[in-house]
Amino acid sequence: MPEPVIGVAGLGRLGGTLARKCAEEDILVHEFDPRHPEKWESLLAPDVLVDCSAAPAVRHAVELCTRLRVPLVECVSDLDEEHLRLLDGLAQHVPVVRATNLSLGNYLMTRSMELVVQAVRTMDRAGITGIVPEAAVLERHPATKTHRPSATATALARRWEDGTGSSVSDVASLRAGGAVSDHEIRLTWPEQTFTVSHGVLSLDAAASTAIGVAGWTVGRSPGHYAVHDIFDDMLASMGGPGAGPDRGDHV
């Protein structure tokens, strides 16, 4: 089966890296400049659109996917209620993937944290006092990223709170340092600490995953899909651990 033609909306760091990785893998790319959405109608239709633009341009990406009936991989993180409403409407017609963090390491970090949550809840139910630790989340991005806290940090905090019923003590944001990002969740008991962390050194990590996720969406039924459940599905299809959505399942 031939590789899908990938549309890339956004010419920034992630969009540029994705276009380069596609070129290296001989995957055809159509670039959609969010500064000139009026020109999009004249461009050839892709098989799937990966939106790496910014919040003000999300509406144009949704409109394009609605008109062409192609899947959308939405990588913009700072979405408001109006953006989410637009994505909900689009998901009635095509697959929509929320992909605010595309790195394999974030997937492994999140799944590891779920195991920790399960162990903490089990021991708490067993009556081991003081087993639920204080939890805090730290995220670091370069100074060029103004949105804080990051969507990844917020998701980590929410997973902890939903799993344990205990609020995180803080979600801290640092804007300094290297070109990509670091995320950490720190658990503290009176006598010990446990930290799960993940750092991204290059946007190649996200771009490589975006190619795989984009290909996965082609031919799927309309609906919302979570990028981590797509990882689960990929592992399950290769006989690995995890059980992701079958075709048509909403996540």
pLDDT at position 237: 85
Task: Report which of 108, 107, 67 is spatially closest to residue 89, judged by C-alpha positions.
Answer: 67
Q: Can you say whether residue 24 is alpha, beta or left, with left for phi > 0 and alpha for psi between -120 and 50 degrees?
A: alpha
How confident is the model over 7-18, as a mean pLDDT?
94
How confident is the model over 236-246, as a mean pLDDT?
62
CA 17 to chain centre: 16
Longest Cα separation, the chain: 65
Give me 57's structure tokens.
């341009």
For residue 149, whether the previous peptide bond is cis, meaning omega lies within 30 degrees of 0, is yes
pLDDT at 250 over 60: no
pLDDT digits (tens, 9 = 90+) for 130-173: 788 999 999 999 998 888 999 999 999 999 999 999 999 999 99
pLDDT digits (tens, 9 = 90+) for 43-93: 999 999 999 999 999 999 999 999 999 999 999 988 999 999 999 999 999
Give me 112's structure tokens.
């590891």
Q: What is the mean pLDDT of the chain?
A: 91
Domains of the chain: 6-102+204-237 (3.40.50.720), 104-200 (3.30.360.10)
How many beta carbons lie within 10 A of that of residue 66, not counting itself? 16
HEC per residue, the chain:
CCCCCEEEECCCHHHHHHHHHHHHCCCCEEEECCCCHHHHHHCCCCCEEEECCCHHHHHHHHHHHHHHCCCEEECCCCCCHHHHHHHHHHCCCCEEEECCCCCHHHHHHHHHHHHHHHHHHHHHHCCCCCCCCEEEEEEEECCCCCCCCCHHHHHHHHHHHHHHCCCCCEEEEEECCCCCEEEEEEEECCCCEEEEEEEECCCHHHHHHHHHHHHHHCCCCCEEEEHHHHHHHHHHHCCCCCCCCCCCCCC
pLDDT at 225 over 70: yes
- Model confidence at 247, pLDDT cuts 50, 70, 90, reads very low
pLDDT at 104 over 60: yes
Task: Report which of 206, 46, 55, 68 is spatially closest to residue 31, judged by C-alpha positions.
Answer: 46
